[in-house]
Structures are given as C-alpha cells and as structure tokens.
Amino acid sequence: MSQQPWPVAPQTPPPVPPRSRTGLWVTIAVVAALVLGGGATALVLTSGVDRSGDAQPTSRLARAAAERDAVLDAAGKGATTLNTLDYRDVEAGFDEWESVSTGSLLDEIKNGREKNTEALENAKSKTEAKVLSSAVSEVDGKAGTATVLVAMHVEISTPDKAATEKVLRERLRLQRTGKDWKVAEITQIQPGS
C-alpha cells in the first residue's frame, strides 16, 4: 500500500472575499505609483548613458570594469599565444607571438626568432596552451599598465615521444598600445612563491 507524500488539494477553490471600491482604488494607485516610479528609475538609470551613438560606458565604474575585462581578455589571448608553437609552421607562430607582444618582450622575440626557429624545427616540438584561470592583479589606467596572474595547461609533444603535460603559473605585465593591451613581460611563478 503506497502513501501519498503530500495531502491532495481540495477540488473546489476557497471563496474569494469581494473587493470593496476602496480596495480597487488602492490597487490602482499602487500600480500607477510602481509604473511612474519605474519610469523615474529608468530615467535616472539611463541619464548617465552616452547618447552619442558610440555605446561607450560613461560612468567611472563602468569604464573601469570594461578596462579590466579588456585586460583579462588580452592576457588570456597573450598567454595562450605565447605558450603555443608548432614546428610545422614556426613563422606563423612567431608572427602571432609578435602580434600580442610589446616593449622588451617584442624585441626579445624578434631578436631570437631565427635561432629559435631553427631549434624548434630541429626538435620537431609542438606546444599547445589553454588558460585554466586568470585574475587581474592590478590595472593602472593612467599609466596604461596592468598585471594579470594566469594558470595555464600546456601540452608538449614531438612525433617520436608521448605528449607531456604541465601546469604553468605566470605573471603577465601588460602595456596599453593605442586601444589594445599587449604583453610586455612574462614571469613564471614557482609553486609556493
């Protein structure tokens, strides 16, 4: 014999007390106040919106959040790109490296490109990276600098060996170049430091 886990609802709904005219007018007044209040709230919330057609955030908080998101996106792309390279198309890989770099890091990539291309082609190695997590540590909008901490999964393979996997932790210093953020420096962080 099975039991029902809850009581069965009655078949007929309970009677609803009739509304008085006063209750109706109070309801109408409350609804009107909510509608008018909502309109006023919408007016207040949209008064800070830039109506120039650029759809750019105008509040300081919104600009800071947009800048933080741009830094995080650039760091993720930069970290992935700078930890990925395939010996079968080294030139394209180094072109990508240069596209996400700036400052002394860019100079270092350009200066070592020929030597590193040859070493990579001889070793026949391939690396593929993926960001596991990242966090903005600092953004200085006036100076155009930022620091992001990134945890990466990197797979390293060669045709004659099984792939090895590593988890890398890196600190990226980014520099704003025009409207874009690029990686200016990478430092590996050792566990426990």
Residue type, 31: V
Which 3 state secondary structure label does DSSP give 149?
strand
Count how many Cα atoms sit within 13 Å of the Cα of residue 67 in the half-sphere of its side chain. 22
Instruction: Pick 31 or 90 by higher pLDDT.
Output: 90
What is the tens place of the pLDDT at every residue in 8-40? 444 444 444 444 444 445 455 545 455 454 444
Domains of the chain: 63-188 (3.10.450.230)
Q: What tens digit of pLDDT does each residue of 118-175 get?
A: 998 988 999 999 999 999 999 998 999 999 999 999 999 998 888 999 999 999 999 9
**Mean pLDDT of all residues in the chain?**
80
How far apart, in whole angstroms, are the C-alpha atoms of residue 84 and residue 101? 14
Burial class (CB in 10 A: 0-12, 13-18, 19+), 55: exposed
Whether this model's pTM surpasses 0.85 = no
In the sheet with 180-188, reading across from the earlier edge strand, the strands are 85-86, 126-140, 145-158, 161-177, 180-188
